[in-house]
Amino acid sequence: MNTKDHILRWVAFCAIAMFVGLVGRSLWLGLELRQGLERLSTAATDNIQWTLAQAEVDYLKYYSAVLEAETSGDLAHVRQQFDIYYSRIRTYAESGLYARLQDGENGVFLAHLNEGLDAQVQLIDASDDILLNSLPQLTALILKNRHEVREIALEGVELQAAIANRQRVQLHHLFAHLSAVLVILVVSLSATILVLIYLYRRGQSLTEQTVQDAARVQTMISASLDAIILADEFGKIWTFNIAAEEMFGYTQADALGIELSQLVFDSEAPPRDAVAWLFAQERLANQEDGRLRSTGHRLNGEAFPVEISLSASRSIDKGETTVWVAYVRDISHLLQSEEELRRARDDAMAGERAKDQLLTVMSHEMRTPLNGIIGSLDLLAKRPQTQENQIYLSAMRVSGDLLLKHVNDVLQLSRLKANAEPEEVQVFDLCQLVQDLVTSQHANALANGNEISFYCQIGTGIFVQGQRHSIQKVLLNLIGNALKFTNDGAISVDVLRQTGGVEITIADTGKGIAEDDLERIFDDFVTLDGSYGRIQEGTGLGLAIVKGLVTDMGGTVHCDSILGEGSTFTVTLSLQFVAATKADEPAQTKSFLQTVDNVEQQHRILVVEDNEINRLLLSQMLRDLGCEVVDASGGAQGLELLKQRTFDLVLTDISMPDVDGIALLRQARDLGVTQDTNIVAVTAHAAKAELNRIKAAGFADVVTKPVQQEALRAILSQFAHKNASRSSKKTALPITVDNDDALDRFFTTLGADKAQEFITGLCHEMSEFCLMLANASEMTLSMRQEAHRLAGSAAVLEFSELYEELLKIETAPENEFPDVTTLVAAWEKIHSRLQAFAL
């Protein structure tokens, strides 16, 4: 009930109370009126008035009797009239009715009359003779009281007038009061009637509304697709809608009185205690977001899955008892759809996995023949060729490398998608890494008329702890893109130290990216220029890989760009900073040079590979490195050879049809092949987990396909050192590989133009460095850094003597200026050879 109704109820209550009060009051007033009228109707006042007025009449009668007796002598009549007069006056003096006469002036009159009477009594009571003779005296006595008698009679008239007046006033008041009460009564009665009419109408509309609501609820219950079941506090059903009838197979009449717990239960048999079941269900439902999954049981015994929502409420119809309301939904179809959806999702995921797997397998499988192609190209390029053939070979090598890059990109992406194990963290010189990358892209930059600059603000002697190769890959992609999409512009790479990490920005002044495209460039296979005639090639995987790698490292990457003005890619990485130690020095260059100084050593090597091209290629590369090579076309043949001969090194493929690489290793060790024979796995399965599995099998090392000659050199060097230290024979090998093979390879790999630019740059920088050293008196840090940078370039071109000399400069003792003459001599030797290549 609302507040307005409440107030009206109070008003009605007050009006009724007032009405009752007023009715009471009017009744009381009516009674009073009646009494007043009755009082008026009584003769009491008339009597008094009449009696008082009668005094004068009696007096006059008495007086006339006395006068008459003087002539007639009728004394008896005199005495009779005296008695009447006497008793009248005595009554006034003694009766309480005439109290008004007994006080004041009237009292004096009455006293005079009594005195007169006393005097007259003596004459009246005397004998007739005396009385007769005394009549004149009596007459005189009577006349003496004439004035008093008149006053008493007047008093009667006055009395009557006063009483009449008083009664009139009283009656007037009574009438006025009564009419006021009646007016109020009528008003309050009217108000009460109005309020009652209003309440009646309101009650009527409420009743209509309630009836309508009830009808609506009833319609909703009937029309509901869910079964709606109402049960009393004992769980017995008292409402069962049509949907419930259809769902459970009971008619409403049959269902009434059955316990709800007989229709919906999860156990073997219906629960015994229906009330306990209801409370337990309600508790469970509250924990489960109001809905529960359970099992419905039809009349024919069939069970089906249901979702039930159960709550307790107060019944209006049934007073204050608890009513259980249950909404039951048959979820057979839902579960079926869920199942179908799950199956579809599983199928889709399986399809996705199969696609990824196909991509991965295809990529692996493509890497193996690619290995053969690229390796063969390397070997062919080393043989004397006509200039035209060299051009074709160079083009094939470039295309092969590009294809290999694409294959590697796909593999990398599928590995990222498969959440492959992340790369191990290592300590490295981030500035150096970025610098090397920038240096390696110098020639690329020049080719498009771009300038590339580098700035690192991490601090000298500070290394970082992070995933070196992933960072390298990210930066290579971003710098590569910057170079690819910029012509005659500038690219800057900045490494800035931040709290807890670094921010690396790669900014270019290239073609830029439209704002709408900024979001999607990081998606797989997105290239903004999708036309067939597009200028820049690309698979659209680079940025997807960047995003994947950066995200895996817990970092972020984003791009700001203005179309036509350039782009800035910002990579933020959390990295730990550590002070550099000697052990942290980049191992790559060193090991590369170690390979250089061990090449001359003769090794007996067994190559086990089922793929013929790869076998030939591997063998040839090793022979080129001066090794004695025996090959086997499978694991079984390899084992046979191991039984017959001793090898320094065995290079075995992992996936082979008869005896695979891992089985070969185990069986070889079982045959007694000692650790002196290093068994190295060669595999195209470059996934980290796979590499770990192979390493765990006990291989001395793992080389991934396509195998490059440099990798073979590194392996040979590694085991030559190992064997040398094992035999305590330290072989000091001369550095003699300053030949043009490396230069040829460099040209083939980079392409003539880029290689030429690089070499021109190197000539220029080396000449400047030599000049600077000649003019300097002490070693500065920047000189050491420049020596380090140039040593890197010398290493790439396999100028080992120059490399050694630069290394000496870099590592020269603090207070000793190194002898630069040997460096200058080494440089001059190479410089004269490079003249042919430099621009």
Residues within the interface to ligand ADP (CB under 6 A): 477, 481-482, 485, 508, 510-513, 521, 526-529, 538-544, 567
CB of 534 to ligand ADP, least distance (A): 8
Rounded to the nearest whole angstrom, what is the least distance from the CB of residue 430 to ligand ADP in the complex?
Answer: 21
Min CB(448)–ligand ADP separation in Å: 12
Q: Which is closer to ligand ADP, CB of 491 or CB of 703?
A: 491
Residue with tokens 């290549």, as numbered in its chain: 837
Q: How many residues does the chain have?
A: 839
For ligand ADP, which is the closer residue by CB, 306 or 553? 553
Q: Which is nearer to ligand ADP, 80 or 527 (CB)?
A: 527
Nearer to ligand ADP, 523 or 640 (CB): 523
Contact 229, 326 (CB under 8 A): yes
Which residues are registered as beta bridge partners of 259? 236
Q: Taking the complex as a whole, how short is the minimal distance between the CB of residue 568 and ligand ADP, in angstroms?
A: 9
Among residues 536 and 736, whose Cβ is nearest to ligand ADP?
Answer: 536
Q: How far apart are CA 467 and CA 821, in angstroms?
A: 40
Q: What is the dihedral of CA 820, 821, 826, 830, to 10 degrees?
A: 100
Which residues are paired to 499 by β-bridges? none
Task: Considering the complex, state which of residue 138 and residue 491 has its C-beta at the smaller distance from ligand ADP.
Answer: 491
Torsion of CA 539, 545, 548, 551, to 10 degrees: -130
**Shorter beta-carbon distance to ligand ADP: residue 562 or 774:** 562
Contacts of 580 (CB under 8 A, 6+ apart): 427, 429, 461, 462, 463
Chain mean position to CA 15: 58
Q: How far is the CB of 569 from ligand ADP (least distance, A)?
A: 7
Distances (CA, A) of 536 to 478, 479, 644: 15, 15, 56
Q: Minimum distance from CB of 483 to ligand ADP (Å)?
A: 8
Q: Are 626 and 600 in contact (CB under 8 A)?
A: yes
CB of 434 to ligand ADP, least distance (A): 17
Q: How far is the CB of 661 from ligand ADP (least distance, A)?
A: 34
**Going by C-beta distance under 8 Å and a sequence separation of 6 or more, which residues neighbour residue 410?**
359, 363, 539, 541
Smaller CB separation from ligand ADP, 156 or 538: 538
Closest to ligand ADP by CB, 309 vs 567, is 567
CB of residue 557 to ligand ADP, shortest distance in Å: 11
Both tokens assigned to 52: 């008082």
Strands 227-231 and 322-330: antiparallel
Distance CA 332, CA 131 (A): 142
Asked if omega into 586 is within 30° of 0 (cis), the reply is no
The DSSP letter of residue 264 is B
Q: Which is nearer to ligand ADP, 543 or 802 (CB)?
A: 543
Give me 255's structure tokens: 């269902």
How far is residue 832's CA from residue 839's CA, in Å, rounded to a whole number? 13
Q: Is the CB of 80 or the CB of 539 nearer to ligand ADP?
A: 539
Closest-CA residue to 185 (of 408, 47, 25, 374):
25
89: how many CB neighbours lie within 10 A of its CB?
A: 23
Measure CA 829 to chain center.
Answer: 70
Cα(88)–Cα(55) distance, integer angstroms: 6
Tokens, residue 721:
């050192």
- Of the pair 487, 704, the CB lying nearest ligand ADP is at 487
Query: Using CA atoms, how far apart are residues 785 and 809, in angstroms rounded to an integer?
Result: 10
Nearer to ligand ADP, 64 or 487 (CB): 487
* CA 570 – CA 495 distance, rounded (Å): 10
Least separation in angstroms between residue 438's CB and ligand ADP is 15
In the bound complex, what is the minimum distance in angstroms from residue 472's beta carbon to ligand ADP?
A: 16
HSE toward the beta carbon, residue 457, CA cutoff 13 A: 12
Beta bridge pairs of residue 704: 683
Distance CA 813, CA 435 (A): 24
End-to-end CA, the chain: 101
Taking the complex as a whole, how short is the minimal distance between the CB of residue 460 and ligand ADP, in angstroms?
A: 30
Indicate the helix (H) or strand (E) that contains 574.
strand 566-574
CB of 310 to ligand ADP, least distance (A): 55
Nearer to ligand ADP, 405 or 722 (CB): 405
CB of 481 to ligand ADP, least distance (A): 3
| DSSP-derived 3-state class of residue 530 | coil
Minimum distance from CB of 341 to ligand ADP (Å)?
Answer: 33
* Whole-angstrom distance, CA of residue 359 vs CA of residue 770: 51
Spatial contact of 312 and 320, defined as CB atoms under 8 Å apart: no
The token pair at 627 is: 């090794």
Closest CB to ligand ADP among residues 543, 684: 543
Q: How far is the CB of 493 from ligand ADP (least distance, A)?
A: 12
Amino acid found at 369: P
CB of 454 to ligand ADP, least distance (A): 16
Q: Number of helices (H) and strands (E), helices first, in the chain?
A: 27, 18
Q: Given the complex with ligand ADP, which of 249 and 540 has the nearer CB atom?
A: 540
Three-class DSSP labels, 593-633: HHHHHHCCCCCEEEEECCCHHHHHHHHHHHHHCCCEEEEEC
Which residue, 524 or 690, has its beta carbon nearer to ligand ADP? 524
